[in-house]
Amino acid sequence: MSPPFYDRWCAEALKEKLARPFVHIIFGARQTGKSTLLNALLPPEALRINLADPEERSRLLARPGEFLQICRALPPEDKGRFVFVDEVQTVPAIFDAVQSLYDSDPERWRFVLCGSSARKLRRTGANLLPGRSFLHRLFPLVLTEHPSPNQSPPSVPSPLPMTWIGNPYSPHPFPPWDMEERLAYGSLPGVVAGAESDRGEILKAYAVIHLEEEIRREALIRDWGAFVRFLPLAALEAGQIMNYAGIAQETGISQPTVKSYYQLLEDMFLGLRIPAFSRSQRKNVLSTPKFLFADLGVRHAAAGILPSLDVVRANPGPLFEQWVGVELWKRIQYLGDGSLSYLRTRQGAEVDYIIERQGRLIPIEVKWTVHPDRHDARHLLTFLKEHPEQTEKGYIICRCPRPMEIHERVIALPWQYL
């Protein structure tokens, strides 16, 4: 019996782009569904080379020239034949081979290169084919792919000016979850589609086995023990302003090494930085970025916490704030337009997230409350007053059942309206 089919929001747009005569590079963390999506989009006759297979990987590492021979053996009259290479970062020489083939005849092959880490590519100076390639990203599930229970298109369109391109609702979405489940188990496709009893163990294995395999296989760090000390602290500190000195002191690792480990998590697409808003009129704002894990389930497992609803119920507010930030960040990345930052002063005044798109600023506060009020909007109102020409409204993302006007310039939105 074949597994159920679930839509990915970016599938149609990606399929259209793959038809164009460029080299297509798709990056994303492990278990985000890259291979599943590409195998569904590419025709059966595509040549598939899976470098996660140790035998295949070892052969091409030893003799990368064989890749040229395999591709040239395809019938020349079969123009536009797809060549799909999975886990391409494990054999960086493939990029040079692809460039040679593409430059010799851009129409003969349609290369699709898929990877889960950019670290080794950067360290080896891999050729990412500038001028010849399109770069795509795939993330853990977003809200449109994985709606809340009984969610349908809102009767009133969301006033948040971050609308989806095309139909925001997938015809065949992943199983619906409420917010507590999202905060407990994250949004990796295999976890969302799996049995409830397996979720915690899947995530635990992901944090231990996949991370160790990826790091050890590619020799990304010299001291595995130091990274093991760093990882749970970084996970527990997620959502906070990055504290290199504190983690260095706690783990006995130098600050430069701590910084390199954070960069490693970004290179493996497991984490992301939210920079401080840099154009505030105030002189006492903080400038250090925040760090978020791209998936809350992985965050819990990396922290050594078995993901569960009890973990969430103990303190849901900070996790909800992280979830909103990651959801906004993923959406901005897919749209390819805009940036996300935060603002905090030394006195503690804070705007959780600030979206910048097309010259406009959209300040957002995140509250776990079901009943938002004027007090929740106070920092938004200050920000709106300080930036009158670039702002129209601020938003409170919370658990209220319907959109509410808190102030003439502040709207409270249910999280389902993101």
pLDDT band, residue 345 (cuts 50/70/90): confident
pLDDT band at 126 (very low <50, low <70, confident <90, very high): low
Q: What is the spatial distance between Cα 144 and Cα 169, in angstroms, rounded to a whole number?
A: 5
Query: Could you tell me the two tokens for 400?
Result: 């209220």
Q: What is the set of domains in the chain, with CATH numbers?
A: 11-137 (3.40.50.300), 143-417 (no CATH)
Could you report the per-residue pLDDT of 394-412, keeping only the tens digit for each?
999 999 999 999 999 999 9
* pLDDT attached to residue 164: 44
Over residues 26-67, the pLDDT tens digits come to: 999 989 999 999 999 999 999 999 999 999 999 999 999 999
For residue range 306-338, list pLDDT tens digits in order.
999 999 999 999 999 999 999 999 989 988 889
